[in-house]
């Protein structure tokens, strides 16, 4: 039975459960459970596997020139990581850890050629081609995610960083709500600021009527002016 998280994973978009199961077999997929804080990939090492988050969440951390860690990426259920490193064969620039108890599906990058060997089954071969297209698309999206991250780091004003993150990195639901996928402490690391400074700025923005908040969910009350400015 295919895990529900895979049906929402971009790698398996437009694929049936039966075809997903075939692809996972070809790619020697294995599932593994991890406790919070477990290291999945260590900076400076190589790997030929890419991972998919089935449950929980993972965090990728970089070490700055002064030895201080800062958050590079955060992924929840359905997130894909390690794909660029596996494809390039280079050492990982980040250490990837579980942010909570998590279950990870590992698939073998060197096994990808097996997906071209289903010429006797046109439907399955078409599904494998779709998977490969999805993989290329996911890799391309990583570039644009990195670009948004660099935009945030380039901003000097914390309020601008907050607005940029909310408007460019989160998709609002039908009610305009945007949910930050991690704790305020991790969010502060992602914005490259102090947690207390982030808390103070959010309080000021609430007081000024710019945002409404409910735990990790945020509504923007005055977005057009800020989006034009950014």
| DSSP class per residue in 190-202 | HHTS-HHHHHHHH
Helix (H, G, I), strand (E, B) or coil at 216: coil
Tell me whether domains 4-151 and 155-229 share a fold.
no
Q: What is the pLDDT of residue 82?
A: 94
Beta bridge partners of 50: 107
Radius of gyration (C-alpha) of the chain in whole angstroms: 19
Distance CA 128, CA 49 (A): 18
CATH number of 155-229: 1.10.10.10
Report strand pairing: 95-98 vs 177-179: unpaired
Contacts of residue 160, defined as CB under 8 A and 6 or more positions apart, other chains included, come to: 229, 230
| pTM (two decimals) | 0.81
- Average pLDDT on 187-196 reads 92
For residue 110, give the nearest of 86, 132, 91, 127 by alpha carbon: 86
Boundaries of every domain in the chain: 4-151, 155-229
Digit-coded pLDDT (tens) for 43-56: 999 999 999 999 99
Q: How far is CA 185 from the centre of its chain?
A: 17
Digit-coded pLDDT (tens) for 111-141: 999 999 998 999 999 999 999 999 999 999 8
The CATH architecture assigned to 4-151 reads Sandwich (2.60)
For residue 86, give the nearest of 114, 143, 48, 142 by alpha carbon: 48
């Amino acid at each position: 039975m295919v895990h529900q998280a895979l049906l929402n994973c971009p790698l398996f978009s437009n694929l049936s459960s039966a075809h997903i199961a075939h692809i996972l077999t070809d790619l020697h997929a294995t599932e593994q459970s991890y406790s919070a804080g477990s290291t999945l990939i260590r900076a400076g090492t190589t790997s030929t596997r890419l991972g998919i988050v089935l449950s929980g969440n993972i965090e990728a951390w970089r070490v700055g020139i002064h030895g201080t860690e800062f958050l590079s990426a955060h992924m929840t259920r359905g997130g894909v990581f390690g794909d660029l490193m596996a494809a390039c064969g280079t050492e990982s620039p980040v250490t990837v850890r579980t942010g909570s108890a998590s279950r990870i599906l590992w698939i073998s990058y060197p096994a990808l050629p097996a997906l071209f060997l289903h010429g006797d089954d046109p439907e399955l071969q078409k599904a494998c081609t779709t998977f490969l297209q999805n993989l290329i698309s996911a890799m391309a999206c990583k570039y644009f995610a990195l670009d948004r991250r660099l935009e945030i780091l380039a901003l000097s004003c914390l309020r601008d960083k907050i607005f940029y993150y909310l408007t460019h990195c989160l998709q609002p639901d039908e009610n305009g709500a945007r949910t930050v996928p991690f704790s305020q402490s991790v969010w502060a690391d992602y914005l490259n600021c102090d947690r207390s400074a982030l808390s103070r700025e959010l309080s000021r923005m609430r007081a000024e009527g710019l945002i409404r908040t409910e735990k990790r969910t945020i509504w923007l009350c005055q977005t057009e002016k800020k989006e034009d400015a950014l």
